Amino acid sequence: MVRVIYALVFVVISCTGTPEYPFCKSKNQCQSGEDCYQGRCVSCLESSECGAGKECRNGGCVASACKSNTDCGGVGCVNGTCQPCSLASHCGDQFCHQGECVAERPCKLDTDCADDEDCLAGLCKKPWAQSSAPNVSCQLPTLYFGFDESSLTQEARQSLADAAMCMESTMENAVVVEGHTDEQGTEEYNIALSEQRASVVKRYLIRLGILESRLNVLPRGETMTTSDSAKDRRAVLDWK
């Protein structure tokens, strides 16, 4: 129907001389970013030409009607229309950042983020997290410690020797060493203990010939416990 209306407008203009905006005979009679389509200046013909949360209506991009943020493709659903957010409440369980609803928490400093996150480009992110596993043919181990201990068992040493051989075959990949504890003790003590466990693993791998620059320590304390406290006292190696 819209295209039919434009065709009729074009016929009328062709008989009446120079048109007045928004009618046109050529693109140079339209504003910047517009085209002359069948006698009328338009900024779009299809909704796909408009940005997130907008649709093409009568040749212009307008805010789409919405019921929830999921209808808006990144901006917020505010008073029934898709618009750039200005308040956190516009984004439901997400955060408002520079007019867009995002899953990551906005930040200015690393201290604004969780212990395992960095502040990157104004958002809290996990730089070691990857959307897919690196292309490696071997798996890295999980090591277990005794109660209130950070020393390596003989079994753990052998596992690290195998891990070092694996890492030597994949020189382009870095490794993050996560330290964990059970829930016994204070939060501060467990963070320190988890860092000791991860650091012990890192130092042993360096002794085995792994470059220090490839190893990253991440103390998690008691933040990722299981139903088995013996399994909580661990260090987890993973590809970065």
Whether residues 146 and 114 share a domain: the answer is: no
Distance CA 130, CA 143 (A): 22
Same domain for 58 and 73, yes or no, is no
**pTM for this prediction:** 0.48
Domain annotation covers residue 200: yes
pLDDT confidence of residue 73: 66
Same domain, 56 and 105: no
- Residues 81, 156: one domain? no
Establish if 134 belongs to a structural domain. Answer: no
Number of domains in the chain: 3
* Mean pLDDT in residue range 44-71: 78
* 137 in a structural domain: no
Least confident range from 94-103, 146-155, 163-172: namely: 94-103
Establish if 224 belongs to a structural domain. yes
Percent of the chain with pLDDT over 90: 38
| Residue 71 contacts residue 47 (beta carbons within 8 Å) | no
For residues 135 and 162, the model is more confident at 162
Percentage of the residues of the chain whose pLDDT score is greater than 70: 85
Q: Mean of the pLDDT values across residues 78-82?
A: 78
- DSSP-assigned states of every residue in 69-125: GGGTBTBEEETTEEE---SGGGGTTSEEETTEEESSPB-SSGGGS-TT-EEETTEEE
Domain limits at 37?
Answer: 2-62
239 pairs with which residues across the strands?
175
pLDDT of residue 2: 46
| Domain end among 47, 62, 77 | 62
What's the confidence (pLDDT) of residue 131?
A: 44
Q: Is 38 a member of any domain?
A: yes
Average pLDDT, integer, range 203-212: 93
| In a shared domain, residues 148 and 235 | yes
pLDDT tens sequence across 3-21: 544 454 444 445 556 788 8
Indicate if 147 and 212 belong to the same structural domain.
yes
* C-alpha to C-alpha distance for 64 and 62, rounded to whole angstroms: 6
Query: Residue 4's pLDDT is what?
Result: 46
Same domain, 148 and 223: yes
Q: For residues 93 and 86, is the Cβ–Cβ distance under 8 A?
A: no
